Amino acid sequence: MAEPFTDSDAEIRAALEAAHIPALLASLIHFTGNADHLDDFPVPVADITNMADEHGGIPAERQAAARDLAFAHLTRWRAAGYPALPRPSTAAVKRAMNFVAGGAIPAAYDAFLTAELHLDGLPTATGVTIDAPAAAKAACPVVIIGAGMSGLLAGIALSQAGLPFTIIDAQSRVGGTWWANRYPGCRVDTPNHLYSYSFEPAHEWPLRYSTQPILQEYFERIAAKHGLHQHIRFETRVESAVWDGHDWQVTVTGPQGTETLAARAVISAVGQLNTPKLPDIKGVGSFAGPAFHSAQWRDDVDLQGKRVAVIGTGASAFQIVPEIAGKVAALTVCQRTAPWLLPQPAYHDAVPAGKRWLLKHAPSYANWYRFALFWSLTEFLLPAVTRDAAWHHAGSLSEMNAGLRALLEASLAEQLADRPDLLAKSIPPYAPGGKRMLVDNGVWAAALKRDNVELVSDPIAAIEPGGVRLESGRLVEVDVIIYATGFSASDFLVPMQVVGEGGVELHDKWAGDAKAYLGMTVPGFPNFFMVYGPNTNIVVNGSIVFFSECSVRYIVGCLKLLVEDGVTALQPRPDVTAAFNARVDAANAEMAWGAPDVSSWYKNASGRVSQNWPFALVDYWNATRAPERADFVG
Ligand code: NAP
């Protein structure tokens, strides 16, 4: 909640200069209890055509009026000694939501968005309580696998629910992917005021999109605040989890050797992107110099003055290349498929001190700022990446998708106007949305244009001791190779052995095609849960933190059934699971990433999209509010 302040009028005015105007105007309903003032302002435009303008096109003169109004309220509140403010009416809240969204939000979103606003105060991790005697809770120990964003979240949730838990992590620190990926330039591509736990907002984020060290610090701080370290076993691997009919026997190997922990439930929070993948190129391993994967960055390899090849042009390469281009002697970027770039001029921008002040002190401004970000990423790109069966144009899926393509092509054309050779290589053949779009503020194109950088699109024939052999016959001689070639994402939970009922091993059951109910539970594997499991990745909408919060809320709801109702072995019904996956597959086939001509980490070896959630965020929120008892046996 907003903290009282002693700042001068001039300081308040200066802070207001950095306000997100739609969020600021929405927040003023908390001073008045109504939304009447919104009549005096034009409704902002919140769509992809004005992504760079966070004021939604509200003209400068009305922005100034909004700041004046906010100044009057803030200073009156200060003069009155920071009294409690009226609860705005439900109608005023809805009106403010519509205003920030730039139009009427469908009623189906009301409960979801109202919950997301958290106007009644910060939530707990899940909002779920387990009402049972201490002994019943003590009898339900849980093993959480992974101390990354989702594993820490699960730990906090279990701690708040009063259940005993142990977190196992193979790394030496918390942070998961943010500790594993320490390559130069590593940063989040979702705005940070959204890429953070809803119950742990960080008003002091220094950057709009944090770099890896800042995110690492956030997760370390939150883990410490919630006392998680005493529950975590670092540098410890889960070898296997075996269901014995009542408990999971989880065998772990760590600094103290191998032991087996008994758990009533297991929560896997190992993520989808934890197994680096080297390319299937002839001769990988034969290079004479240092060669390493982006997620296994070698700080001991000094790139200064070296000839370097980066293989891949996905999200990791996209961040590495601009960072190292200025220090290496020569950089060859080997591109197999060009990525789509999503313009965001503010990608590397700092959060102005004034905005940080408002987040901390202006009543409910932080809620509305997060809401504005949340809505801007909720669903509005989803229709633009959905197939229209009547649309038959190569490289696009629908009229809207073609419009998006034109917008993105125009941005590339503008950035590479002076380099038609680069432009020709930089327009992806597939429809926008087929792969994750890369958040772009121009540093990629600027790096590619440097004299010491070459973008090579000839296919690679082999890796040789001296460098990269292209199919054209040319040998690109280099001193260092960086494989930014992604992860074995569809090999969920590898290399763990997970043995469920009847001695069935999970990977044998999956046979390379991982499926789960709502991404979390699998028939035959009682009390075994996954966060960020199959079909829970999002491509163009939302924040993965939101998804993890939904999953963990649902999982704690399942644990509640174990502890409160004495259920011993909860598992989803096979028919419910099959029907769910049939719906997911049908919907994924309609999405850009499901198109047959697109290959990506979203698909498994059989070509099925095993990673992505094809529906709206509100659908996952609704589906995960609490487990439906009828969906389960046990
Ligand atoms: P990726 O998106 O899977 O990209 C791998 C790249 O390597 C692609 O350009 C791919 O080309 C290329 N490649 C793979 N095998 C190859 C081969 N045999 N020959 C030539 N090129 C080959 O992996 P990533 O960049 O590590 O990103 C993975 C995911 O991690 C992202 O989609 C995102 O979800 C997440 N991530 C996020 C951030 C962020 O938030 N900022 C940063 C990094 C990663 P093709 O496209 O032709 O397959």
**DSSP secondary structure code for residue 127 in this structure:** S
Contact 514, 534 (CB under 8 A): yes
Residue with CA nearest ligand 1 atom 33 = 315
**Structural tokens at position 210:** 């944090």
Q: How would you class 586 by CB atoms within 10 Å of its CB: exposed for 0-12, middle for 13-18, buried for 19 or more?
A: exposed
For ligand 1, mutation pick of 318, 333, 470, 485 (most atoms within 8 Å of CB): 485
Q: Is the dihedral of CA 485, 444, 538, 24 positive or negative?
A: positive
Cα–Cα distance, 442 to 345 (Å, whole number): 7
Output the residue whose Cα is nearest ligand 1's atom 17.
279
CA of 316 to the centre of ligand 1 (A): 6
Q: What is the pLDDT of residues 546-560, one digit of tens each?
A: 999 999 999 999 999
Q: Environment class of residue 52 by beta-carbon count within 10 Å: exposed (0-12), middle (13-18) or buried (19+)?
A: exposed
Q: What is the DSSP string of 257-302?
A: EEEEEEESEEEE---SS-SB-----TTTT--SS-EEEGGG--TTS-
Q: Which amino acid does the sequence have at 457?
A: S
The residue among 359, 124, 115 whose CA lies nearest residue 226 is 124
Residue 71, C-beta contacts closer than 8 angstroms, at least 6 positions apart: 9, 12, 13, 16
pLDDT tens column, 246-264: 999 999 999 999 999 999 9
In angstroms, the CA 421 to CA 483 distance is 24
pLDDT of residue 54: 82
- Give the pLDDT score at 425: 98
Question: CA–CA separation, 264 vs 241, rounded Å?
Answer: 11
Nearest CA among 581, 594, 609, 563 for reference residue 521: 581
Distance in angstroms (rounded) separating the CA atoms of residues 423 and 400: 23
Distance from residue 313's CA to the centre of ligand 1 (Å): 6
**Closest C-alpha residue for ligand 1 atom 35:** 315
Kindly give the number of the ligand 1 atom that is closest to the alpha carbon of 273: 30
For ligand 1, atom 16, which residue shows the shortest CA distance? 279
Instruction: Give the pLDDT confidence score for residue 51 in this predicted structure.
Output: 62
Q: Whose CA is nearest to atom 22 of ligand 1?
A: 312
* C-alpha 277 to ligand 1 mean position (Å): 10
CA 435 to ligand 1 center in whole angstroms: 9
Q: How far is the CA of 485 from the centre of ligand 1 (A)?
A: 5
- 8 Å CB contact between 474 and 457: no
What contacts 578, CB < 8 A, 6 or more positions away? none
Domains for the chain: give ranges and CATH numbers.
9-124+359-376 (no CATH), 134-275+489-633 (3.50.50.60), 291-346+392-483 (3.50.50.60)
Q: Which amino acid, 154? A: A
Probe residue for ligand 1, chosen from 336, 430, 536, 539 as the CB with the greatest number of ligand atoms within 8 Å: 336
Phi and psi dihedrals of 561, rounded to 5?
-65, -40
Q: Burial letters for 422-458: b for 16+ Cβ neighbours within 10 Å, e otherwise?
A: bbebbebebbbbbbbbbbbbbbbbebbeeeebebbee
What is the atom index within ligand 1 of the atom nearest the CA of 438? 41
Q: Calculate the average pLDDT of the chain.
A: 96
Residue nearest to atom 18 of ligand 1 (CA): 279
- State the distance from the centre of ligand 1 to the C-alpha of 373, rounded, in angstroms: 26
Nearest CA to ligand 1 atom 48: 600
Chain centroid offset of residue 491 CA: 19
If you measure from the C-alpha of residue 220 to the centroid of ligand 1, how many angstroms do you get, rounded to a whole number?
A: 27
Model pLDDT, residue 379: 82
Q: Whose CA is nearest to atom 46 of ligand 1?
A: 337
**Ligand 1 atom 38, closest CA:** 315
Closest-lying ligand 1 atom to the alpha carbon of residue 311: 21
Strands (E), 312-365: 330-334, 341-343
CA of 339 to the centre of ligand 1 (A): 9
The pLDDT tens digits of the residues spanning 38-73 come to 999 999 987 666 566 788 899 999 999 999 999 999
* Cα 317 to ligand 1 centroid, rounded to whole Å: 7
- Interatomic CA distance for residues 120 and 26, integer angstroms: 16
State the closest ligand 1 atom to the C-alpha of 188, by its place in the atom list counted from 1: 40
Q: Which amino acid is at 524?
A: G
Distance 584 CA to ligand 1 centre (A): 24
> What is the mean pLDDT, run by run of 10 residues, along the chain of 634 residues?
91 97 97 96 79 83 98 97 93 96 93 93 94 97 98 98 98 98 97 95 94 98 98 98 98 97 98 95 98 98 98 98 98 98 94 96 96 88 95 96 96 98 98 97 98 98 98 98 97 97 98 98 98 97 95 98 96 98 98 95 97 97 97 95
Residue 617: partners with Cβ closer than 8 Å, 6 or more residues away: 112, 378, 379, 538, 541, 542, 546
For residue 315, report the distance from its CA to the centre of ligand 1, in Å. 6
Per-residue DSSP letter, 50? G
Residue 544 CA to ligand 1 center (angstroms) comes to 18
Which pLDDT score is estimated for 11?
97
The structure's pTM equals 0.97
- Strand order in 475-477's β-sheet? 460-464, 467-470, 475-477
At 634 the pLDDT is: 87
Enumerate residues lining ligand 1, CB below 6 A.
187-189, 273, 279-281, 294, 311-317, 319, 336-337, 436, 460, 484-487, 599, 601
Gap from CA of 294 to ligand 1 centroid (Å): 10
Atom of ligand 1 nearest to the CA of 181: 43
Residue 499 pairs with which residues in a beta bridge?
242, 505
